[in-house]
Structures are given as C-alpha cells and as structure tokens.
Amino acid sequence: MKIVIGNDHAATALKFEIVDYLKSLGHEVINIGTDTTESCNYPEYGEKVGRMVVAGEADCGVLICGTGVGISIAANKVPGVRAAVCSDTATARLVKEHNNANIIAFGARIVGSELAKDIVKAYLDAEFAGGRHQTRIDLIHEIEKRG
C-alpha cells in the first residue's frame, strides 16, 4: 500500500519509528513531516495528509501528534476524510471494519512505540465490512454535503 504519514513536533521520533515499521512490512511511505522537534502547528499536517488521501495520492494515512486528537480533528475537516484516533488495537481494527477510516491517528504522548506499531498493523490488516456500515458512512457524508 501507499501510505502517507504526517505529524507535529510532539511525535517526530515516533513517526520515524512508524515509517521504518511500515517499510519493513513492505509498504511505500510518503512522509510529509514535520521531521524536527521544533514547535509547529498540527493543523497544517492534518490537512495535508487528509487532502492527499482524498485525492487518491495515497491509499490511507497515518497522523500522530501529542494525543492524536488535534491532528485528526484538522484532517476530518477535509471532506471525505474519516480519521480515527486509536489507543488500542481493537478500536484500530473496528475503525476499518465499521467506519472504513481512511486515516488512523494516535498520540505519541499516549501510546508507546510497540503499541503504536500494533495499532497500525491492526488497522492495516482489517477489512471494511460494508453493508449496513456503508449506509452509515453515506449518512456521514450527507452531513458534509449539508455543511
């Protein structure tokens, strides 16, 4: 898969670990930064990853900030994005199966690197279940259209 990854300054070290992990699984990774620990603004990275995923420039996205919350809120402002913050592997699996999340997010100040890798793996290994879940996703996108 082609996976785009973005983060803020709180998550740079973990981001590099996840990039290496994704590559070790055979994925192509597009890293849009930040690559330093200099303070920056997470909305910029959330939006960029969101736009790339919706445009089809990547199959899915990974976002990391201190909590995973701010950067996912930003990404979710891009129409078509379904970014989900996960701190456990069961949620990571279910956000693909039920919500067809196209971006997974987590917090570098919340999860350790081993759990973060397991979260990403659980998400990537899962498959969207479709059916009634697609109906609900369609309803979410109706909300977007209403503005």
Residues belonging to the active site: 65, 98
Work out which of 12, 14, 21, 42 binds ligand RB5, going by CB under 6 A: 42
The maximal CA–CA distance of the chain, rounded, in angstroms, is 45
Return d(Cα 50, Cα 79) in angstroms, integer. 9
Q: Tokens for 122, please give them.
A: 């659980």
Q: Is 34 in the site for ligand RB5 (CB under 6 A)?
A: no
Is 8 an interacting residue with respect to ligand RB5 (CB under 6 A)? yes
Closer residue to ligand RB5, CB minimum distance, 33 or 66? 66
**What is the C-alpha radius of gyration for the chain, rounded to an integer number of angstroms?**
14
SS (H, E, C) 30-59: EECCCCCCCCCCHHHHHHHHHHHHHCCCCC
Q: Which is nearer to ligand RB5, 10 or 104 (CB)?
A: 10
**Residue 106 binding ligand RB5, by CB under 6 A:** no
- Tell me whether residue 101 or residue 126 sits nearer to ligand RB5 (CB atom): 101
Q: Based on CB atoms, which residue is closest to ligand RB5, 64 or 124?
A: 64
Considering the complex, what minimum distance in angstroms separates the CB of residue 2 from ligand RB5? Answer: 25
Contact between 3 and ligand RB5 by CB under 6 A: the answer reads no
Binding to ligand RB5 (CB under 6 A) within 46-105 occurs at 65-67, 69-70
Question: Listing from the earlier edge strand, what are the strands of the sheet with 103-107?
Answer: 28-31, 2-7, 60-65, 103-107, 83-85
Cα 142 to Cα 14, 39, 131, 135, 139: the distances in Å are 35, 36, 17, 11, 5
Binding site residues, ligand RB5, CB under 6 A: 8, 10, 42, 65-67, 69-70
